[in-house]
Amino acid sequence: MFSGGSYDDVARWLKNFLTSHAKREQPRTEVLLDAGDEREGRSYGARLMLGERLGDPVEFDYREVAQHRGELAWCAALAARTRAQVKSLLGGAAGSAGNARAR
């Protein structure tokens, strides 16, 4: 169904997928997708951003995403991982103001 696709098509799908699931946890979450010249045809880098907080970078292999983007189980696992990362950013953001005063 959605398997395969050009590098740019898969990049667009990946950014939309990550954004959709990240915003389900917190609508202010943004996805920064690196698909620049150095990665062209090979990989993507993604980071979640919530306000000033940046999540850890996540690497995606182009062929793996292209091959599995039509598989429900693979997509469900990626969605769960994305939502967990947003929750982690939210936990850090919620506790950072109080923790800064306590230190």
| Domains assigned to the chain | 7-88 (3.30.720)
Question: SS3 of 55, please?
Answer: coil
Element housing 97 (H / E): helix 72-102
| pLDDT computed for residue 4 by the predictor | 84
Residue 2 has what pLDDT?
A: 63
* Prediction pTM value: 0.84
Strand ranges, E, within the chain: 30-34, 43-50, 53-54, 58-61
Helix (H, G, I), strand (E, B) or coil at 6: coil
Distance of alpha carbon 88 from alpha carbon 103, whole angstroms? 21
| pLDDT score recorded for residue 28 | 97
**Mean pLDDT of successive 10-residue stretches along the chain, which has 103 residues:** 83 97 97 93 96 95 96 97 96 48 32
